[in-house]
Amino acid sequence: MNESKYISPTTNGSPLDPATGLSGRRITRFSPPPFSHIPVMAESVTEIFSTVPSGPILDATIGGGGHSYGILKSREDLNVIGIDQDPEALAAANSKLAQFANRVSLIHGRFDDLSGVAKQIGNQKLSGFLFDLGVSSYQLDNPLRGFSFRNEGPLDMRMNPESQITAGEYVNEATQEELASLLYNYGDEKYSKRIARAIVSMRPILTTKELADIIRDAIPARSKRSPGHPARRSFQALRIAVNCEIEILESSIREAIRLLKIGGRGVVLSYHSGEDKVVKRTLRQLAGLNTSNSKYHPEVRQPKEILLLARKAQRATSEETLRNPRASSALLRKFEKVSES
């Protein structure tokens, strides 16, 4: 792998020496870990697709192919079209799903562009789709990708290493107000203003560890006692901004539902409240349910295009979260298409 591909440019445009940041702090070199990711609520996902009509299932975030593996193994009459914006994930999915190669097509891209999928299915429609949102454990655990506040790495956080803006550019170029609003809106960070002020005063910041230390020092001592790393929410917020995760969610789910056949099913797994809020609102609208909180201003309800298969989001069991702590924040929403809009 070309390591420099994952190094953020400095604010003056010249590439950062992969061995030392602008601050002169040394970035330890790592070889990337092997791809590893445990699919969340995999049995439930396979079970949801057990009754759908034969045909294509869109795995819009195929990652290492764990969910798709279960789906393909459970039914020979289903095939998978898998999308991921991360070429390393696609390579992992390709080898994980090798035994089903004649029933798998993989597309490098973002799930808000389903034109490649529409081309693959021609005049057919989808039997099902899955959005397993966010990052994979591999992306988080690989320090070269810059997602982790625990390991030293470049401030990158791009799921697609070919996309333009890195976390380093946000951190070093956004205004204090922009940073504070990003941390608040995407990370629910109550100390967003303090953290933004500290970041701006310490710029340039070049590595994940430098940023994590600045955030930790900006937070009042009493809050550092609450569980979880003090930089967790800020790193989540930056990652969401770098990868435009929230902006594209609603339109992508609507488009996938448009491509679904009657009786086809959709599953969305989200991992934080901002994401789930968008998913829940979109699905309730399409299910013809009220999404307004005010009884004085009820929303005009849309015709019912989908049926929610459960009123509340499903959570992982305690046994699963013990085996796979990542599952603890997962919220699964499932539905079936019942009519064309």
Ligand X SMILES: C[S@@+](CC[C@H](N)C(=O)[O-])C[C@H]1O[C@@H](n2cnc3c(N)ncnc32)[C@H](O)[C@@H]1O
Residues within window 311-330 making contact with ligand X, judged by CB under 6 A: none
Could you tell me how many residues of this chain bind ligand X (CB under 6 A)? Answer: 21
Q: Which of 80, 86, 127, 285 binds ligand X (CB under 6 A)?
A: 86
Instruction: State yes or no: cis peptide before 303, omega within 30 of 0.
Output: no
One character per residue 221-260, x = contact with ligand X (rule: CB under 6 A) = ---------------------------x------------
Residues within window 58-77 making contact with ligand X, judged by CB under 6 A: 61, 63-67
Measured CA to CA, the distance from residue 26 to residue 63 in angstroms comes to 31
Decide whether 97 or 218 has the Cβ nearer to ligand X.
97
Decide whether 80 or 174 has the Cβ nearer to ligand X.
80
What are the DSSP calls for 64-100, one per residue?
A: TSHHHHHHHHH-TTEEEEEEES-HHHHHHHHHHTGGG
Q: Which of 21, 39, 56, 168 binds ligand X (CB under 6 A)?
A: 39
Q: How far is the CB of 136 from ligand X (least distance, A)?
A: 4
Q: Which of 7, 8, 37, 332 binds ligand X (CB under 6 A)?
A: 37
Q: State the angle between helix axes of 249-258 and 273-286 in degrees (0 to 180), rounded to the nearest 10.
A: 40
Phi-psi region of 188 (alpha: psi -120 to 50; beta: other; left: phi over 0): left
One character per residue 122-141, x = contact with ligand X (rule: CB under 6 A) = ----------x-xxx-----
Tell me the residue number closest to ligand X, measured at CB: 63
- What 8-state DSSP symbol labels residue 166? -
Nearest to 331 by CA among 290, 291, 298, 283: 283
Q: Does 274 bind ligand X (CB under 6 A)?
A: no
CA 256 to chain centre: 17
| Structure-token match 């799930």, residue found | 111
Question: Which two structure tokens, joined as six digits, stand for 244?
Answer: 């435009």
Decide whether 135 or 256 has the Cβ nearer to ligand X.
135
Q: Does 83 bind ligand X (CB under 6 A)?
A: yes
| φ, ψ at 106 (rounded to 5°) | -115, 140
The residues that touch ligand X, with contacts defined as CB under 6 A, are 37, 39, 61, 63-67, 83-86, 89, 110-111, 132, 134-136, 159, 248
